[in-house]
Structure 1
Amino acid sequence: MGLSKSIMFSAIQPSGKLTLGNYIGTISHWMHIQDMYNCIYSIADLHAITVNQDKKLFQQNILDTLALYLASGVNPKKSIIFVQSEVQEHCQLNWILNCHTYFGELIRMTQFKQKSKINPNNINIGLFNYPILMAADILLYQSDTVLVGHDQIQHVELARKIAKRLNFLYGQVVTVPKIYIPNKNGSKIMALLNPIKKMSKSDSNLNNIIFLLDDHKCVVKKIARSITDSDNKIFYDTVNKPGISNLLNIYSSLTGTSISVLENMFVNTTYKNFKLLVTQSILDILLKLQEKFFYFKNKKDYLRDILDIGASLAKKEAQKTIQKLYNVLGL
């Protein structure tokens, strides 16, 4: 890893199909930032087992996630890409951080409360402990910056608090990471039929979600059905016009055009024509992404080689932090 660049960490679970929200919030930025940072990209499979997984599908999802990374422009010669469970130091640091985190801090995590309601029959300790493992992921690599979606800000804030606590107790042993959200509006893409909640791959209504591997007809249908309002005026107002505001966020994020410019562009545009333009902006991205994805998906040996090399490189960095902490703890 180049000494002149700071370290950027980011991770995504291989828990199923990735969404347009995942792409806009994080993945679309990875290609550009890898020239500015030493980037470490993790496929967070340990986080994914807080819910039961089918073994074969799970293993395929891991490789498919890597294929999507590559299709999105992540270069394994520039960045470290690895599977979380293949670097055991994540679990080692997780236990150390458990012993430096308070119950009251975890009970306040909003995602735990939300996910507990979604699946009340499987409120396991892993789900409760999830933010500490995430903190371990980040602190293990002395990450200067963490690229996350809006919904993960609270977890990174906890990681920062734990890092400061460790440094207070033992000296400068870990880096206190900064949060990086490249696009404040685009980092939080909302559900198409219920634009007051985040677009999530776990949503029971698939019409709320655009998946990165949705075909042409599916994208057209989902955007056509997306909720708007009745006054047929296009401007950004998340309180009174959440549906239109969400579509503006999507269009702005995918085209790189500011929302204020779009409001002027679409002042005389009907909702129907606006939705057609949003649909086309999505398809322009997804069809190219899908072509590259299926190219990489069929190269399993190549994908496995990338992960093997990535795990080896990640492990070298991780061991430095573990050794430093073992020394100050007397382990």
Structure 2
Amino acid sequence: MADTQFTPRIFSGIKPSGGLTLGNYLGAIKRWVEMQEEGTQSIYCVVDLHAITVWQDPADLRAATHEVAAGMLASGIDPARSILFNQSQVPEHTQLAWIFNCVARVGWMNRMTQFKEKAGANAEKVSLGLYAYPSLMAADILLYHATHVPVGEDQKQHVELTRDIAAKFNHDYGVEFFPMTEPVIEGPGMRVMNLRDGSKKMSKSGESDMERINMLDDADTISKKFKKARTDPAPLPESPEGLKDRPEAKNLVDIYASLSGGTQESVIAEYAGAGWGQFKPALADLAVDKLAPISDEMRRLMADPAEIDRLLAVGRDRAREIAAPVLERTYEIVGLVRS
């Protein structure tokens, strides 16, 4: 393996903690399907080891892993063209993560914004895994020499940490073995917000089910949630600049743009001056049209978990074909004896 030759390769993953939401679909999976069509080798992972940084009921974790995998497959991730697997089936992830634990600095981890937000005032009581998981995320990416990682804005800091770890490893050992991975952040729907509070990201763990669209919601539920979504009294503006300081309005316009394949500009051009009584039903109809076939296929797949497991196993074997040589070369570089 030549240390300086990096094949263009995409890696990204979703954590199976709770059900899939519209935020997961528009913020990640929809873009992954589009990237799959562009011809670059794509590796997509259900990151179940990241899920257990906080306690998970084992039965719920298994169900959520199947749901996320079903959502990817139903949305168009093709296991013949992309590599799809769940993280815990490829042990090289955790093996490389330990090497990176010894490369990363404590000060780097202390700067991670997401840890501070998730730990809050209870930082002394959370798991070591929650503190160290950015190192595992770096291993997820660099294990495949991924050159590009499609992520939301909230994960960009972790990709920057991945670059820091790669750079320090390469410098410390005098090699050019790990690439400087680039985050890919684009698209109007990349950060889908809460339907009841446009200042908060749509989350699986939110207090009310009305604040999110679940990918397994039926057509009536999707329609009801959009029609009841919080908005302000003003109609849609004449230009995208008019969405400034209107987070709920901006969120619904962005969702419409992403579902329709358009832009803020094209949505505003069509609905400028319209009231929410006109726009929200149109958005609801569009969402049902786009999401109902996916949710139907998800239900079909989830009724046959053995088939999901079979497809994940195929992906696992393909992933390990790439991962095992990278880990072996890493061990060689570090000086670990291999008998």
> Is the structural similarity TM-score above 0.5?
yes
Separation in structure 2 between the aligned mates of residue 78 and residue 4 of structure 1, nearest angstrom? 19
Corresponding position of 1:190:
193
- Equivalent in 162, 179, 184 of residue 183 of structure 2: 179
Structure 2 counterparts to residues 124-143 of structure 1, below 5 A: 124-143=127-146
Instruction: Provide structure 1 residue ranges, at least 5 long, that are not aligned to the other structure.
Output: none
1:151 to 2:151 alignment: no
Aligned to 1:212: 215
Q: State the partner residue of 1:110.
A: 113
Taking a change above 3 Å as real, the CA distance of residues 291 and 317 of structure 1, as seen in their structure-2 partners, is same
Q: Deviations over 1:115-142 (max 9, x none)?
A: 1139779521111111111011000000
Indicate if the aligned counterparts of 2:254 and 2:263 stay in contact, CA closer than 8 A: no
* 3-state SS, counterpart of residue 81 of structure 1: strand
- Is residue 49 from structure 1 mapped to residue 31 from structure 2 by the alignment? no
Render the CA deviation track for 1:177-202: whole Å, top value 9, x for unaligned: 1111231x311111111101111112
What is the TM-score when the length of structure 1 is the normalising length? 0.94
1:15 deviates by: 1.2
Query: Structure 2 vs 1, CA of residues 40 and 328 (structure 1 numbering), >3 Å: closer, same or farther?
Result: same
> Cα distance 1:208–1:147, how it changes in 2: closer, same or farther (>3 A)?
same
Q: Which residue of 2 aligns with 1:294?
A: 299
CA distance in 2, matches of 1:325, 1:73: 34
Q: Which residue of 2 aligns with 1:269?
A: 274
Establish whether residue 38 from structure 1 lines up as the match of residue 41 from structure 2: yes
Shift of 1:11: 0.4
2:14 equivalent among 12, 15, 30: 12
Structure 2-normalised TM-score?
0.92
1:330 to 311, 328, 335: 335
- Runs of 4+ that moved beyond 4 A: 118-122
Distance (Å, rounded) in 1 between the aligned partners of 2:122 and 2:286:
35
What is the rounded CA distance, in whole Å, between the counterparts of 2:180 and 2:297 in structure 1? 36
- Is contact 1:229-1:241 (8 Å) kept? yes
Listed as ranges, the gaps of 5+ residues in structure 2 are none
Q: Distance in 2 between matches of 1:31 and 1:75?
A: 8
Offset at residue 275 of structure 1 (A)? 0.7
Counterpart Cα distance in 2 of 1:107 and 1:140: 24
What is the aligned-residue RMSD (CA, Å)?
A: 1.9
Q: How far has the Cα of 1:216 moved from its partner?
A: 2.1
